[in-house]
Homo-oligomer: A and B are copies of this chain.
Amino acid sequence: MSAIKEMVMAKAITAALRDELAADQKTLLIGEDIGALGGVFRVTEGLQAEFGPHRVIDSPLAESGIVGTSIGMAMRGYRPVAEIQFDGFVFPAFNQITTQLAKMHNRTDGRVKVPVTIRLPYGGHIGSIEHHSESPEALFAHTAGLRILAPSNPQDAYWMTRQAIVSDDPVIILEPKRRYWLKGKVDLDNPAPDAFRAQVLREGTDATIATYGPLVPVALAAAEAARAESRSIEVVDIRSISPLDDETIARSAAKTQRLIVAHEAPTFGGIGGEIAARVAERAHHRLLAPVLRVGGFHMPYPPSAQEHRYLPDIDRMLEAVDRSFSYQRSA
């Protein structure tokens, strides 16, 4: 008998944190305002009251300190889960993440494990001010030693969070802020598919849209809209950015022969380029059009009064599908 509950994504993450705190004494949470306040998104709400201030630790206001001390705690056998308050404020911790956290296991020849999880609420479309809507995943994916997950629904959010915490590797979880209040079923007994694999969420035959995190519901809606125009779109939820399950994505692309990759992060230098290059290598002769990308523009995230024109939406995805089809005509 399995316990299936309907939850919003934020609360699925809370549940995952609670379950891991309960399962392992060594699991700790650390971050700014995660205690009495429960975090600015209330994801840690109630956890300090339940597990005490020594396990749900309000830190000084210093991100490098949060990640750096998490590394030290992890060396000593703890499993710290660090919350960075917003995407745009992860950069003071960039050095600790890139030169220390990512490399520790490798540089010590596997002797020192640093099972740190970094929770990073990310992405736009929340009508916020500067620095509160960014998608920095590509800046971490390039660095070997980090695992990067991007759940798009409550079930994944719950299980990926748990899997991240029990993993002996450092994991960054990108939590799509605009989907915190998205409802969905969470099966608390039966794990979601392997966190590090992509998943075909909707089958189709004419083209594939591959995306992750906040844009998955958009891709599904785009596929639905395309059906009206008698186009059958397959949707792949990429789920894990590092490792990248290029196999599943390429298989889908080889099948539909057209691939569109979408993310909120700026296209230029984004992870979409990596996916496009990899899929082309694996499926060049199957593709009827180059892999096309839909992403943010090469600009700092704009004032949110204009974010609707910046962020990929259904129309932008369908335009890319159209463009993909236009290649066939010209071929």
Contacts and interface: CB of A to CB of B under 8 A. Distances in A.
A230 to B, nearest CB: 25
Count of identical protomers in the assembly: 2
A272 B268 contact: no
Nearest to A293: B277
Interface in A254-313: 265-266, 268-278, 280-281, 284-285, 287, 289-293, 297-300
A329 B299 CA distance: 42
A290 B284 contact: yes
Interface residues of A, number: 52
A231 B127 CA distance: 56
Contact of A131 (B88, B99, B242): B99
A299 B144 contact: yes
Contacts of A272: 277
B99 A284 contact: no
Interface stretch (A31-39, A41-49, A90-98): A90-98
Nearest to A104: B300
Contacts of A292: 281
A88 B92 contact: no
Nearest to A93: B95
A141 interface: yes
Given A98-B91, A99-B91, A141 B277 contact: no
Interface string A70-99: 000000000000000000100110110011
A291 B327 CA distance: 18
Contacts of A300: 102-103, 106-107, 144-145
Contacts of A299: 106, 144
A269 B138 contact: yes
Contact of A269 (B94, B141, B268, B298): B141
Contacts of A281: 290, 292
A142 interface: yes
A330 interface: yes
A319 interface: no
Interface in A311-328: 327
A201 interface: no
A228 interface: no
A170 to B, nearest CB: 13
Given A103-B300, A268-B142, A331 B88 contact: no
A112 interface: no
A278 B103 CA distance: 31
Contacts of A143: 139, 269
A100 to B, nearest CB: 9
A139 B146 CA distance: 15
A99 B297 CA distance: 17
8 contacts: A91-B99, A94-B94, A107-B300, A142-B268, A272-B277, A280-B280, A280-B290, A281-B290
